[in-house]
Structure 1
Amino acid sequence: MKFLQSQGVEDPILSVVNLIDIFLVIIAALLLGMASNPLIQAMMRNDVTVVVDAGQPSMEMIVKKGDEIERFKSSGQTGQGEGVKAGVAYRLQDGSVIYVPE
């Protein structure tokens, strides 16, 4: 019954060890969250093109070729000029668009 009478002084280093354990769990959760992000997985490939806000005035394209990354922002205005037909785009029933180069 001695253990009921003694108050027992806690070692302050034990609380530090508990804080370290909590931080390790938080770091592991953040790393797992980053690993499951589809944009980061896509950027690990050699050649990637990402279109943000497609068809909107604020549209932006991010193109990665090898180690080089370029960003293209839309001015919101329609372009005009001379050119040649480069291919055909088809919109499918599910709403996706397929581009077929000639």
Structure 2
Amino acid sequence: MKYMKKRRGKKKRSFEEDPMSGVANLFDVAMVFAVALLIALVSSYHIQELLDPTRDITIVKNPGQPDMQVIVKEGKEIKTLNVTEEMSEVEIAGTVGTIYRTPDGGMVYVPEGG
């Protein structure tokens, strides 16, 4: 008979209670965290201009290196140009003229030989 006594203090669990109800909103929290992380990455790399369709942008990655890339964005179209040794080396034939800066900020071009 001692086993048949009612224990006061313990609640009976109803079958309608869902044990996973406490973690149901974790997906929503994870989605908010993922969106916040994407916004933080975009703002930390200063690439908001790439998302604006009205701006034209040119980005040079690894300037002066053999694996240099030029990324050009015109409107919604983005092109990647891989620069090779042949593209970056040009022989200079001579000078064409001289450009002088004036005190007020303007520039004057004087052709050579005349």
TM-score range, shorter chain: 0.5 to 0.7
Question: What is the CA deviation profile of residues 15-36 of structure 1, one whole-angstrom value per residue up to 9, with x for unaligned ones?
Answer: 4423234323323323322442
1:38 to 42, 45, 49: 45
Structure 1 residues not aligned, in runs of 5+: 89-99
Residues 1:7 and 1:32: Cα distance change in structure 2 (over 3 Å): farther
- Write 1 or 2 for the structure with the bigger share of helix: 1
User: Could you say which structure has the greater relative contact order, defined with CA pairs below 8 angstroms and 6 or more residues apart?
Assistant: 1
**TM-score normalised to the size of structure 2?**
0.53
Percent identity (aligned): 31
* Equivalent residue, structure 1, for 2:112: none
* Equivalent residue, structure 2, for 1:20: 27
- Please tell me whether Structure 1 or Structure 2 has the larger radius of gyration of its CA atoms: 2
Structure 2 residues not aligned, in runs of 5+: 1-7, 100-106, 110-114
**TM-score normalised to the size of structure 1?**
0.57
Superposition CA RMSD, Å: 3.5
Number of equivalent positions: 87
